[in-house]
Amino acid sequence: MFLNPISKFSIIFILISALNFASEARTHRASVDANKMGKVALVYKGPGSCEEDCSEAAADMAKLAGLRPVYIGPNESRAEVFKEAAVWIQPGGGASTASKSMNPRLKKMIKEFVFNGGGYVGFCAGGFFATEVIADTGNFGLSMLPGKNLLYENVKNEIELLTLNWQGRPRKIYWEGGPYFIPPSANEIYVSQYQILALYPNGLPATVSAKYGQGKVVVTGAHPESPRWWKSDGVKLNDDDGDDFDLAVEMIYQAL
C-alpha cells in the first residue's frame, strides 16, 4: 500500500497545524457553547462496534465531557432522538460492518444533524467511517470528512502503543488497526477548515478535524478513550505516561 500520498503543501500544513494546536486546544473548553453542556451524546452501539466495550468506552468519555450518553442502534429511525443531542460518537470496531448495518435513514439523520450544527467524534473505526469511502474497501462512509483514509501500516504488531505528536507533545496512545488521514486539496482544506491535530511517528496525520456545514467532525485513528484493561488483556502494553482520556474529551469539546 502507498503510505505517503501527502503533497508538499500538506506537509507544510501538517507542520503548521502541529505547532499551532497546543495553543488552540487550550481555548476549546472555554469556548464551548454553555447551552450544549449537559446535553446528550448519541453513541452508536451495534454491529461494527467492537465487543471489547468500544461503545461503553466512548460513553465514558461523553460523561467526562459533561454530556449524557444515549446508545443508538443501527435501526434507529426516529428524528426526535437528535433533538437534545450535542454530538454523535462513533466508536471503534469495524467501519464497514457499521456502514452495512446502519439503515439509510439513520445515516441521513447523522449527516443532517452534523450539517446543521451538531458534532461528530470518531475513534478508529469512527474515523474510517467519516470519509466518503472506507479506506480501500470500496464500502461507503458518511462523506462528512474531506480527503481520504487508509490503514496505518507502519507498525510491528496488530495492537501497539504508538507515540503520537498530540497537542505539541509526545503521547503514548493505544492503537489497533486504525487509519491515517490523507488531506484533501488546498481549496477543499480552505472550504472545510481542515486541521491536522496529531501525527503518527512517521509524520502521517493521525487525528484531524473539519467543518461540515455548520457542524464539526473530529476523528482519530488511535484510541485515546482506551480503558486500562485494553492494555493488559492478552497483550501487555506499558503505557508509562498514563491514560489519554483528556485527549478524547478534548476531541468532544472541539466537536461542540
Query: Would residue 139 count as lying in a domain?
Result: yes
For position 33, what pLDDT does the model report?
57
Q: Quick one: pLDDT band at residue 4, thresholds 50, 70, 90? A: very low
Query: Would residue 48 count as lying in a domain?
Result: yes
Distance in angstroms (rounded) separating the CA atoms of residues 41 and 252: 9
Residue 34 predicted with pLDDT over 90: no
Tell me the pLDDT tens digit for each residue of 143-174: 999 999 999 999 999 999 999 999 788 999 99
Distance in angstroms (rounded) separating the CA atoms of residues 30 and 44: 27
Query: In the structure grid, which three cell numbers stand for residue 64, read together?
Result: 467526562
- Position 42, amino acid: L
Range of the domain at 85: 8-255
Q: What is the CATH number of the domain that holds 87?
A: 3.40.50.880
Distance in angstroms (rounded) separating the CA atoms of residues 129 and 191: 21
Residue whose C-alpha cell reads 488521514 in the numeric block: 181
Residue 212 predicted with pLDDT over 90: yes
Query: Would residue 27 count as lying in a domain?
Result: yes
Name the domain count of the chain.
Answer: 1
Residues 6+ apart with CB under 8 A from 35: none
Residue 37 predicted with pLDDT over 80: no
Where would I find the beta strands (DSSP E) of the chain? 40-44, 68-72, 85-90, 119-123, 148-151, 160-166, 169-175, 179-182, 195-199, 205-212, 215-220
Tell me the pLDDT tens digit for each residue of 48-77: 999 889 999 999 999 999 999 999 999 999
Average pLDDT of the chain?
87
User: CA angle, corner 194, sides to 190 and 195, nearest 5?
Assistant: 130
Tell me the pLDDT tens digit for each residue of 46-56: 999 998 899 99
Query: Would residue 1 count as lying in a domain?
Result: no
Query: Would residue 3 count as lying in a domain?
Result: no
